[in-house]
Amino acid sequence: MTFSQKLAGSMTIWSVLAFLLIGPTNIELYGIILLIGLLVCRELSTTYASTEVGQRMDIMIYVGVLLFIVVVARRVLSILGLL
């Protein structure tokens, strides 16, 4: 089993566990928890992962950060009463 397969397996377990704990009702919180897990995996795997795996994880992190910005913007607009 390669390192990238182990990393994918750990992220799968993390996502299933987060889904079971949070549930399908709060998808925004689920996305944020997945982003946190991905950031932790990326940080812990910097010395062991190849550059190709690191670049793939970086792309997923960028997408996650963009989704986080959208969630925060929606919350701010909701608080201000503009949404």
- Asked whether the predicted pLDDT for residue 38 surpasses 80, the reply is yes
Distance CA 54, CA 60 (A): 10
- pLDDT for position 43: 92
Q: Are the CB atoms for 38 and 61 separated by under 8 Å?
A: yes
Higher pLDDT, 20 or 25: 20
Average pLDDT over residues 53-76: 93
Q: What is the pLDDT of residues 45-54, one digit of tens each?
A: 888 888 898 8
At 48, which amino acid appears?
Y
